[in-house]
Structure formats: structure tokens, C-alpha cells
Structure 1
Amino acid sequence: MPPSFRPLIQKIPTVARVPHRSVLSLTGSQASEFLNGILSTLVHSPPRPFYSAFLHAQGRVLYDIFVYTRTGQPGYLIDYDSRPSEATPLLDLIKRYVLRARVKVRDASEEYDVWGAWGDASGEPERQWKWAESSGIAEPVWTEWPWGTQHESISDRRAPGMGRRLLVRKGDRPPEASTHDLASEEAYTLHRILHGVPEGFTDMPPMQAFPMDSNLDLMGGLDFRKGCYVGQELTVRTYHKGVIRKRILPVAIHSPPDLPPSFASGLDIRAVPTGAGEPRPKPRGNGKLLSSFNGMGLALLRLEQVEAAERGEVTFSMDVETDGTISTWGVSHWRPDWWPVKP
């Protein structure tokens, strides 16, 4: 992260509601086996909390999810983005797969809110990396179970410093609210943007986003060696024979001087040649702005253009229309500190 952005990271203990999330309850004697057949990561039995995703049959992201164990009843609670989208509502999607499996699924959104807590000094397990031979895909390899063992709580290991994620009874505050600063939902959004962590439909448009473009491999949301699951074929083929050409990276948006708090997602980000170095063809394709707040954002960028920008051959910019007037804004990216570097 550029040194000028480091002061934006809240290092004091902070707790905030996570926006746009709902909760499903899934119980039954075959709950672990059932989820293992449809999720992108291995589901352990007895149950443990974890991070994962539902993929489309063609390998695109439908939902990124957190799966919690629950107090007093065998089964799971699933935290997901429930805003309207092109994806089938998650409750209906899961019911399609139930068939004769001994599981029950229901909406539990009226029982729980989702909160995030971060900024304490708790340690994190050591993270190593396993690289695919040629595709650019990397997976975290853990020395111990990374997601924790508490019920209705998950250690958020998508990136170092993300803290914990909590399910709290509807309308209540988590116990941490007595010892942590209480922040807004926007503060949580900025927290994950600064750590380079995409989440939900804005960053992973359902039926459109590819899991590796969305950094699900780097964040521990994909397993390339488990048995068959929905979307596995294309995902594993990409691991062995594909090439990752795009990634979601954090960006800063700068000038003109009057900076709005957020921008519409989906704005095109252009790579503009600077004239430095040898003459080159005009860069192909545009990036896309995703989540943003207070001049910081996440953007899906072409890696060839990212590398050209790091060599000083191009700069990124985007046009924003306000009250019928189009203004051009500069965009600068950085690679998160926690990303692996291939040896």
C-alpha cells in the first residue's frame, strides 16, 4: 500500500455492521455432505466455519459466502449478499439441489445481523502459498485451520488484518461494542477496500465474474483438488491450462478537487499511453470500477495494463458525468501487501 494511504487504516478496535448481507439456516444429518457437493471449497465433518462460494455451472460466481457453525443445533448458518441480481435467490437455488438429501434450509435473516470487528492485536496463523504452474493462480496454505472454531463467528482470513465476522441476534449489538469503537457500514466498506478484499454483488457481479479474476483463489475461497462440485470443470481447467488476465485491485481516485464520497460501479477505467518507452499499440479493453468510498475503490483491471502502468507506459483514468458535464478523474492502483510474489 502507498505510504500516504496507510493512515486511513483503522488500527484501533472497531466494530460495524456489514451492509447488504442476509442469513440462511441449513440443518440436517447430511448438511456437511450436501454443502460439499455444491460449494467451491471442501466442507469438513464435524462442521467447522469457513469461507466459500456458489458457482454457476459455467464456472462464474453466483454468491461469495461465509458459513458459520451454530450454537445448540447441528448445521450451518450462511451469510450472503441478498440484493436483487441476475442470480437465482440463494434460498431457491439451494432448494433445487436438496432432492432427497436429509437437510432443511430456511431464511434466518429476521434472526441475525452480520457484523465485522477489526483492529485488535490478535495473531493470525502462518500463511504460505501454492502456485499453479503457469496460470498465475495462487492458494493460501495454512499451518492450522484459519477460520476459527467459535459458533456464529468466523476469523476473516481473506486478507491479513480483516479481523472477525460475527452473527448477532437481530437488533442487538455484539459484545465487542463495549470495548470497540462503533463505526458505520461505510467504514467497513472502506476497511475491506483498503485491504484489497472484494465482496458481494458490486465486486462480483453474478453470472459475470470469474472466481480467479475476483481473487477467490488468493482469499481461500476455492479448492482445486476436492471432488466434483458445481462449476468445478472450468475452474480446474483454468488452474491447469488457463492464464489469469484480470484481477481486482484497490485503487485511489484523484482530481478534480471536489471528491464525492462514492462513484457508480461499472464505470470504465481506461489505460492511456504516456509516450514513455517504445511506441506500443493502444491498450485493448477497459477496466471497471467496483466498490468505492471516499476516493478509494476496487477495480477489475487487465494485468497487462497494470504491468504497463508499473513500468510508466500508461496511466489509468475514467470519465464521470455530473449534471450533464463530463470530467476526467485519475486512477492509481496498488498491489495489496499480502499478495504473494511468485518465486
Structure 2
Amino acid sequence: MPPPLRPLIPKIPTIARVPHRSVLSLTGSQASEFLNGILSAQVHSPPRPFYSAFLHAQGRVLYDVFVYTHMNPSTGQPGYLIDYDLRPSEAPPLLDLIQRYKLRSKNKDAEVKKHWKWAENSGVVEPEWDKAGEWPWGSQNEVLRDRRAPGMGNRMLVRNGDRPPEASSHEMAFPEAYTLHRILHGVPEGHTDMPAMQAFPMDSNLDFMGGLDFRKGCYVGQELTVRTYHKGVIRKRILPVVIHPPNSPPSETIVPSPDMPTRPSHGRGENGKLLSSSNGLGLALLRLEQVEAAEEGKLTFSMDVEGEDGTSWGVSHWRPKWWPQRE
């Protein structure tokens, strides 16, 4: 990330509640096989935690999800806990969606090191985890090592009303701190960044973050996703951005302020769309050809701000260092 933004990274161990999330439990003798047919990442048996997505039949994102392992206390049987964005969207409720598919399976529902391999000409990548090392997403029940990007830390499930054990040794931060943490690391998440029925998985960097498997068997939304991998071209990506005063690009001494605008007057512009935002920083869906033109000094990004007629604020992007680079 740009040097002036580095002070925004916490210097001490910190935990924060992740808002707008809910959890579904799935257990059964065929739970792994069942999930493998409807999720975009490979599901292993015995259960392991991982990151993935539910896709629409036409290949658009419905939910990006974190899948944890757990032990059913009543049966002692291993199963899965699915952590997803609960906010209303154009996607059907996740429980309803899963129940549509479970009729043919015996399931019960309830409320390392990473390398990349480029697909020829398409701009899509797939991570190649270090086969000699341990499972990249961790091995603990109800805890997931967040490998979407370096430095993201761990995610853990805590029962409603309980405090996580780490609260005694970590600084407790507000949920907004987690949003800022994601933005600084260039990590999109949930319906704000991946609007249901609209976002394409590669535009949303799901391939960069290890949420897609292009070599597994058939799953919902696979056809268009694999076709893009082999023959398509990625024209857009979500990138982190800094919002700054007009005609005053961010310098080595400027750190974004909380009073900087975070919402454009129009949700979508010709050059891109602002998604999550916090403290003058954000994630934006941008056209890659225009990103390259901006990097060559041929154009600049800007946005109009609601309530400020005639005022355009500057928008400057950066490419996260963890992004895979072509050799």
C-alpha cells in the first residue's frame, strides 16, 4: 500500500466484530459432497475450513462465504458452519437456496504458501497452495485463517453475547476498523462489494483470494466461470482507492481524513463504481484499461459528491503488493 497509509495498520494485536453476518449449520453423511456441488471452491472430506462463493447459474455471485468446521454436539458428527452476509439483497435467502439443492442429499440444515497460475490471455489466476505445508485456511473448529490476502489475520465464530478469549490480550476495535482493514489490504467482501446477481467472481477478485477452483467437478455457475478462465478476458477488477481533494493528489505526507467524502452522488460512473469506503479510503470496481491509462498518466479518476454541486473529488488507486504478477 502507499507509504502514507501504513500508519493506519494497527501496531498492536486487535480484534473487531464483523457486522451483518449470520451462520448456517450443515451436517450429514454427504455434507462434503453436497457442498462440493454448489460451491465454487473444492470441498474436502474430512471437513476443512475454506473460503468460497455461491454462484448463480449464469455465473454471477450470490454470496461469498467462509466455511468453518465444527463438531455437532448432539451427534458428535463433524460438519460445517457457513458464515455469510445477512443483509437483504437480490439473492434468495441462503437457507432457502441451500434447501432447494438438499432434497437429493442426506443433510440437515439450521439457522503455506500461495502461488498463482495464470490462464493464458484471460487475466484469470488460480492459487496453487504449497502441497507440502499444512492446510492454508487452518485446522481448528470454528476458526479460519484468512488467507484471502497476507495480513488479514484470523476469523473466529463467537456465540452471541460471548466475548472471544482473545479479548483479554487484544485491543477491542469497532466494526468500522475491520472495514478499514479490508480496504487497506484490497479485500472485497459481502453484498456491498459483490452485489448479488450483478458481480462476476473474477471482477470481484475471487480467483486472487482463493475462492474459485477451475479444475473441480461440476458446480452451480461453473460453465461461464470456466469459460472465462479459458477463453474470456477480465475487463474489470476491484482495487483499493484514496479519495482526496480536487487537483491535489495524495502525497507522501497526506493521510486520509474521516471527513473526506465516502459516497458519490451517483452509484455508478463511466469509469467505475465506489463500493465499501471508510475514512477517505475505499474499494472501487474499475475498468482495467482505464487503470492502466491512469498509471501511464493519460487520465485521472474523480467522483461527484452528494450535496456538493459542481465539486469533483480525486480518486487514486493502487495495486496491492500481494496481487499475483505475470512473470
Residue 305 of structure 2 aligns to a residue in which SS?
Answer: strand
Separation of aligned partners in 2, 1:159 and 1:267: 30
Task: Assess if the C-alpha contact under 8 Å between 1:267 and 1:289 holds in 2.
Answer: no
Give the residue type in structure 2 aligned to 1:334: W
**Cα distance, 1:128 vs. partner?**
1.3
Residue in structure 2 matching 1:330, options 308, 314, 322? 314
Query: Residue 318 of structure 1 corresponds to which residue in structure 2?
Result: 303
Separation of aligned partners in 1, 2:313 and 2:29: 54
- TM-score, normalised to structure 2, is 0.92
Separation of aligned partners in 1, 2:206 and 2:230: 16
Residue 136 of structure 1 aligns to a residue in which SS?
Answer: coil
- The 3 A distance-change label for structure 1 pair 70 and 262 is farther
Task: Assess if the C-alpha contact under 8 Å between 1:129 and 1:141 holds in 2.
Answer: yes
Give the residue type in structure 2 aligned to 1:34: F
**Cα distance, 1:261 vs. partner?**
6.3
> Any residues of structure 2 matched to 1:16-31 within 5 Å, and which?
16-31=16-31
- The 3 A distance-change label for structure 1 pair 265 and 146 is farther
Q: Are 1:305 and 2:304 matched, yes or no?
A: no
Q: Are 1:296 and 2:275 matched, yes or no?
A: no
> Any residues of structure 2 matched to 1:170-249 within 5 Å, and which?
170-249=160-239
Task: Assess if the C-alpha contact under 8 Å between 2:27 and 2:80 holds in 1.
Answer: yes
Separation of aligned partners in 1, 2:166 and 2:265: 35
> Any residues of structure 2 matched to 1:36-115 within 5 Å, and which?
36-71=36-71, 72=73, 73-107=77-111
Separation of aligned partners in 1, 2:44 and 2:239: 31
Task: Assess if the C-alpha contact under 8 Å between 1:194 and 1:250 holds in 2.
Answer: yes
- TM-score, normalised to structure 1, is 0.87
Task: Assess if the C-alpha contact under 8 Å between 2:262 and 2:277 holds in 1.
Answer: yes
- The 3 A distance-change label for structure 1 pair 301 and 178 is same
- The 3 A distance-change label for structure 1 pair 258 and 28 is closer
**Cα distance, 1:265 vs. partner?**
7.2
Task: Assess if the C-alpha contact under 8 Å between 2:144 and 2:156 holds in 1.
Answer: yes
Residue 85 of structure 1 aligns to a residue in which SS?
Answer: coil
Residue in structure 2 matching 1:339, options 302, 306, 323? 323
**Cα distance, 1:264 vs. partner?**
3.4
**Cα distance, 1:268 vs. partner?**
5.3
Query: Residue 139 of structure 1 corresponds to which residue in structure 2?
Result: 126
Q: Where do 5+ consecutive residues of structure 2 fail to align?
A: 247-255
Equivalent residue pairs, number: 311
Residue 168 of structure 1 aligns to a residue in which SS?
Answer: coil
Residue 205 of structure 2 aligns to a residue in which SS?
Answer: coil
Query: Residue 151 of structure 1 corresponds to which residue in structure 2?
Result: 141
Separation of aligned partners in 2, 1:62 and 1:332: 29
Residue 335 of structure 1 aligns to a residue in which SS?
Answer: coil
**Cα distance, 1:263 vs. partner?**
2.5
| Sequence identity (%) | 75
Separation of aligned partners in 2, 1:197 and 1:81: 15
Give the residue type in structure 1 aligned to 2:10: Q
Query: Residue 273 of structure 1 corresponds to which residue in structure 2?
Result: none
Task: Assess if the C-alpha contact under 8 Å between 1:202 and 1:265 holds in 2.
Answer: no
Give the residue type in structure 2 aligned to 1:103: N
Residue 309 of structure 1 aligns to a residue in which SS?
Answer: helix
CA-based RMSD: 1.6
Residue 193 of structure 1 aligns to a residue in which SS?
Answer: helix
Task: Assess if the C-alpha contact under 8 Å between 1:317 and 1:328 holds in 2.
Answer: yes
**Cα distance, 1:169 vs. partner?**
1.2
CA deviation vs aligned residue, 1:240-280 (integer Å, no higher than 9, x gap): 0000000000000011698536633794576xxxxxxxxxx
Query: Residue 263 of structure 2 corresponds to which residue in structure 1?
Result: 264
Separation of aligned partners in 1, 2:118 and 2:205: 14
- The 3 A distance-change label for structure 1 pair 58 and 294 is same
Query: Which structure is higher in strand share?
Result: 1
Task: Assess if the C-alpha contact under 8 Å between 1:252 and 1:297 holds in 2.
Answer: yes
Task: Assess if the C-alpha contact under 8 Å between 2:258 and 2:278 holds in 1.
Answer: no
Separation of aligned partners in 1, 2:154 and 2:261: 25
Q: Are 1:166 and 2:151 matched, yes or no?
A: no
CA deviation vs aligned residue, 1:188-234 (integer Å, no higher than 9, x gap): 00001000000000000000000000000000000000000000000
- The 3 A distance-change label for structure 1 pair 151 and 258 is closer
- Runs of 4 or more, structure 1, over 4 Å off, are 256-259, 265-270
